[in-house]
Amino acid sequence: MHRLEECRFCHILAGQQFNGSVDKPIDVCDDYISMASIGALIEGWSLVVPREHCLSLRDHYKSSTFFQFVQSNVQNVERQYGPAIIFEHGANHHGSLTSCGTDHAHLHIVPQPFPINAMLENSGISGWQKIPASQIQSAAHDAEYLFLSTSPLSNDPIGFFKIVDTPTSQFFRHAIAATLGKTATADYKQHPHLDVSTRTGERLRRAA
């Protein structure tokens, strides 16, 4: 059972800061906030977080409000840093490795100075499907999943989807780190890269 005191994002949504200005929202609406991501391997790496405590975004991918907010924040990132991707590690229970240590759903927005197809081919996982985000709920059912899209400004982004057979913490972060040659500092818990996250938050808040 979820307890607010155990959820870092619920605390941040309530106004608490664990990492100084990094935890200050970039943009807000009634249902979502955006903020810089700790452990950012690339400046501009940010998150969209629902105010509702939930484990994945599978119920949000059919919401026009969600995608309007995502698009607004993607546009902000792309104006400052260039083309971006979005991705999610879709967990379904508290404490899952898939959730990467944060049992509260969040969507990553990441500038893309790396080839996606090569990244996925070298990730150790095969059998990716291409589906629109609106089909994730029906495709995943109760399973955990990974989803990545290179068309984040679409009203229903098509992306790479995979049911998680063996939960892996920080899957996309490690795949990106390997592509960038930053494997040694990929784990955000050991390498929070708060200097990069602070610059991201400051720049995107000024531009929002």
Contacts of 155 (CB under 8 A, 6+ apart): 64, 67
The pLDDT, as a whole number, for residue 5 is: 57
How far apart, in whole angstroms, are the C-alpha atoms of residue 147 and residue 64?
18
pTM: predicted TM-score of the whole model, two decimal places: 0.95
How far apart, in whole angstroms, are the C-alpha atoms of residue 161 and residue 152?
14
The pLDDT, as a whole number, for residue 12 is: 94
Tally Cβ neighbours within 10 Å of residue 72.
Answer: 16
CATH of the domain at 162: 3.30.428.10
**For the chain, what is the domain count?**
1
> Tokens in use for 34?
């955006």
How far apart, in whole angstroms, are the C-alpha atoms of residue 91 and residue 164?
9
Contacts of 178 (CB under 8 A, 6+ apart): 119, 122, 123, 186
Between 64-81 and 194-207, two packed helices, what is the crossing angle to 10 degrees? 110
Residue 168, domain extent: 4-207
Tally Cβ neighbours within 10 Å of residue 40.
Answer: 27
The pLDDT, as a whole number, for residue 1 is: 41
Length of the chain: 208
- Residue whose entry in the numeric block shows the structure tokens 């935890």: 23
The pLDDT, as a whole number, for residue 6 is: 79
Do residues 69 and 103 make contact, with C-beta atoms less than 8 angstroms apart?
no
Per-residue pLDDT of the chain (208 residues; tens, 9 = 90+): 445 557 999 999 999 999 999 999 999 999 999 999 999 999 999 999 999 999 999 999 999 999 999 999 999 999 999 999 999 999 998 888 988 888 999 999 999 877 898 899 888 899 999 999 999 999 999 999 999 999 999 999 999 999 998 888 999 999 999 999 999 999 999 999 999 999 999 999 999 8
How far apart, in whole angstroms, are the C-alpha atoms of residue 46 and residue 133?
19
Q: What angle do CA 28, 31, 36 make, to 5 degrees?
A: 40
